[in-house]
Amino acid sequence: MALVIISLLKAFLLFTVAIMAVYSIRHFLFTLNRLFGEQRLYYQDIIDSDLPTVSVLIPMHNEEKVAAHILERLLKSDYDQDKFEIIPVNDFSQDGTRNILDYYASRHAFIKPIHRYSGERGKPAALNDAIVQASGEVIIVFDADYLPPSSILKDIAVCFKDPEVGAVMGRVVPVNTKTNLMTRLLDLERSGGYQVDQQARYNLGLLPQYGGTVGGFKRSVVVGLGCFYTDILAEDTELTYRLSLNGWKILYANRAECYEEVPETWEVRARQIRRWSRGHNSVMFRYFLAVLKSPYLSWRERFDGILLLIVYSVPVVLLLGLASSVLLFFLGQMQIFSGLGFLLFIGAYSTFGNFAPFYQVGTACLLDGTSQRILLLPLLVFNFFFNMWYIAKGFADAVIDAITLRKSNWHKTERFRQSTV
């Protein structure tokens, strides 16, 4: 019996190393593509006076700190005001959000707030109510803490001149990077995840991910697919796969940058990571087999789609791999230096935020022209272990949801910006 247990532990340890090798090779190929490969443009050089009508949706729950900021930014948009409307959705707010939205609506006819105090609470439900009232051909979504530049609506909307495009994702850039060490590390994660990972997947014809904010989709397409599912926290990941499995293309627009406020405390970051993991793994349980069998996806898209689907379950594999190495050590089947080597290998491999390994983050810093940030790369190992633990907890939440049919509740990320209203 002991020999069987030892054999199983060794087999699982080898499986863990194999999984890490696959992801390492994948990300290394992405890095090489960004450095030396042909870069695929999206549609930024298209000049067209006949742009589609746009509805900008902004879900808001207790957003008095940031509500005025994003509305002021959107008022400076260079998009034709006759062709776009702003629909901020007050989702059960108990602070001054409603008053702020009504103030702006009284002065600008194209700002049309929705106040929700009944029905389901949460971003997917709020978006569904807004989509029903929206008149635009294209829906563009921003989170309330975002600061969109004046040109971003055009950069996103022009992509929908291609009739095969169902959704477009822009690039997210943290704006509060100088607050503390954690915000600087999150900036590194974001740069690697977008500047290298998303763009490389787009270059290689794989599956760019619609990220739920700083992005847009065709209203008619999403309405035809049943709008957003309110029983999944990662509504953006779910829509990515539902669009792809129905034959629609998703584009990544690296130039369409928008600025966000990242969490400034470890507690808030932990809740955010756990929520992302819970939602993403729920999508994985739902779509794993469908991706494998999809007639609309090439074998490369299916392979990449599976790796993207299971990425929030990899930390669980790593934790079990660590446990296996410890057990093997106490069973006299592994030298202490071998166990420490395995630990350092997985720790140095990656940072589980946007799942960008250190060489991918370093390449993003080079491409962004901010090489000084590379000095922080060694510190990502601490971020990695922190994220791994809370991603694993989110995975456990998703498993319990699937077994008990428990309903997941939406929890917004706390804001830190000081209101000017």
Q: Which stretches of 79-234 are DSSP H helices?
A: 97-107, 123-133, 152-157, 181-191, 199-203, 219-224
d(CA 42, CA 200): 12
Contact 232, 408 (CB under 8 A): yes
The pLDDT tens digits along the chain (421 residues) read: 778 888 888 888 888 878 888 888 888 899 999 999 998 877 766 666 688 999 999 999 999 999 999 999 999 999 998 999 999 999 999 999 999 999 999 999 999 999 999 989 999 999 999 999 999 999 999 999 999 999 999 999 999 989 999 999 999 999 999 999 999 999 998 999 999 999 999 999 999 899 888 999 999 999 999 999 998 889 999 999 999 999 999 999 998 999 999 999 999 999 999 999 999 999 999 999 999 999 999 999 999 999 999 999 988 888 888 788 778 777 777 665 555 555 555 555 554 434 567 888 889 999 998 878 888 888 887 788 888 889 999 999 999 999 998 877 777 788 887 765 5
pLDDT of residue 358: 80
Q: What is the pLDDT of residue 252?
A: 94
Grouping H, G, I as helix, E, B as strand and the rest as coil, residue 411 is coil
Spell out the domain ranges in the chain.
1-38+177-205+250-416
Write down the pLDDT at residue 2: 77
Q: Count of alpha carbons within 13 Å of 123, Cβ hemisphere only?
A: 20
Task: State the CB neighbour count (10 A cutoff) for residue 311.
Answer: 19
User: Cα separations (Å) of 323 from 9, 14, 315?
Assistant: 9, 13, 12
Q: What is the pLDDT of residue 306?
A: 96
- How many Cα atoms within 13 Å fall on the side-chain side of residue 414? 10
CB neighbours of residue 21 within 10 Å: 11
Smallest Cα–Cα separation from 216: which of 164, 262, 252? 252
Instruction: Identify the sign of the CA torsion 192, 194, 197, 199.
Output: negative
Residue type, 302: R
State how far the Cα of 176 lies from the Cα of 187, in Å rounded to an integer: 9
